Each structure stands twice: as C-alpha cells, then as structure tokens.
Structure 1
C-alpha cells in the first residue's frame, strides 16, 4: 500500500512539473535572425509553394546555402552581403537546371548541394565565427 501511494505521489509530482514547464514554453512570431538582421527574404513564390512542391523549395534553399558558403570561402570574408545576398543567383540555377526536373532528380540534386555546402561549411564557419556572424 505504501509503495502504491509513493508511486502515485511521484506521478502527480512529475505531472505537475511537466505541466508547469510546458506553460513556460511560449512561441514567438518574431523571426528576426541572430546574425545579419537584414537578410533578404525568400522570394514570394517560394514562400507560397504548395506543400506537395516543398521539395523544390528545399532544393533552392540548398543551392543558396551552397553558394553562400562558397562566397565566404572565396572572399575569406563573412560580411552580411557576402553571406546573404539576394536570391537571384540561386533562383537562376534552379530555373536553368531543375524547374522541370523529375522528383527524384530534384531530391538527388538537393542531397548533392547539401553535401557540398556541408563541406564548404567546415571552411566558412571559422571565418564567420571570427567576424561574429555565425
């Protein structure tokens, strides 16, 4: 009986702790980035992409990320304009090569761009950390 009472009390105490912690989680709608607050927004057409076409948006984001890491490494600078230029160049690559591609071709390209960006990230990260933009 004592064991059952102890278990019930423990359960109630833990439940109250979790409920209290959950109440403290307040979502914010502020999307302000920590670094380079004047980052250009994604193009409107990307933000309005249908859920079924989200894989295309992901590809453009990875192209942009790859290009960004490459610019940082090439310039040996992590100035905000270098790291976050307009989306035009990434859009151009997408429209030239992938806008009419099949699903699996887009998925494969997304993976390739992610892999390449991750490799460049190893070199870009110390440059950006030194500049305070990481």
Structure 2
C-alpha cells in the first residue's frame, strides 16, 4: 500500500511539472474584439443592418456583398488601395441595394448576392496585388 502511495505521489509530481500552466490556456481564448490589421478605422455598417432581424439577415448579407464587390472594383479601377478606396462609407452599397434590390424577394436577393460575390472573387487577385504593394492587405 505504501509503495502504491509513493508511486501515485511521484506520478502527481511528474504530471504537475509537465502539464501546461493555466495561464497559457487562458491565452488561447479568442477575444470578442476584432481589430483589423489594416485600415483599423473602417466605417461602421448602417444601423439598420446591425439591428436587422435574423429572418431578414439575407438583406444584410446582400449589402455586404455589394460593398465588397464595389471595394474590389474601386481598387482595381483606380490602382490605389488606400483606406478610403478599400473601405469607403457604406453609402454607395446601401444606395445600390435600395435602388436595385430592396423590392426583391429572398430568393432574388440570394441570387444577387451570388452575382456580387462572383464579381468580387474575380477581381480579388488583382486587388490583392495592388493592396499588398500598398501594405493594406
């Protein structure tokens, strides 16, 4: 019995020395704050988008997709990737949504999102090259 107690004590010491400290585990917890690496002072989304009901989230996604496509287009067309070109105000994307898609149903908006996503993805390699050269990627 004593031999078993000594072995358990020794095992406890060894495991205690080899186990990672709790502080390291706490450092692995992701932060809820999201601070971008580039252009940290980006414009906020319009309030209505941030407060939209979950069942209508596809509308928010569409405006985000429009914004992304317009951003990529602007960078490629101007050859500039300054923060104002890459992350402008949301006015243009919101205007495009209201003028062209506000009356659409869910299915039509999802199709439009797909089109804007494809456009942004087509332009992404060119925009990435321009933005990497400017240090804004």
Which TM-score band applies after superposition, normalised by the shorter structure? 0.7 to 0.9
* Aligned mates of 1:104, 1:126 — CA distance in 2: 34
- Deviation, structure 1 residue 29: 2.5
CA deviation digits over 1:42-87, x for unaligned, max 9? 1111000111011110000000000000000011010001111100
* Aligned mates of 1:24, 1:40 — CA distance in 2: 29
* Aligned mates of 1:103, 1:87 — CA distance in 2: 21
- Deviation, structure 1 residue 26: 1.4
Q: Gaps spanning 5+ residues in structure 2: where?
A: 1-14
1:93 aligns with 2:96: yes
Asked which structure has the greater CA Rg, the reply is: 2
The aligned residue for residue 112 of structure 2 is 109
1:130 aligns with 2:136: no
- Deviation, structure 1 residue 27: 2.6
**TM-score of the two chains, using structure 2 as the length reference:** 0.80
The aligned residue for residue 53 of structure 2 is 50
**TM-score of the two chains, using structure 1 as the length reference:** 0.82
* Aligned mates of 1:118, 1:63 — CA distance in 2: 12
Q: Which runs of 4+ in 1 moved over 3 A?
A: 20-24
- Deviation, structure 1 residue 107: 0.4
CA deviation digits over 1:10-58, x for unaligned, max 9? xxx9xx88xx986543131322211101110111110001110111100
Calculate the aligned-residue CA RMSD, in Å: 1.9
- Deviation, structure 1 residue 122: 1.4
The aligned residue for residue 4 of structure 1 is none
The aligned residue for residue 76 of structure 1 is 79
* Aligned mates of 2:82, 2:48 — CA distance in 1: 27
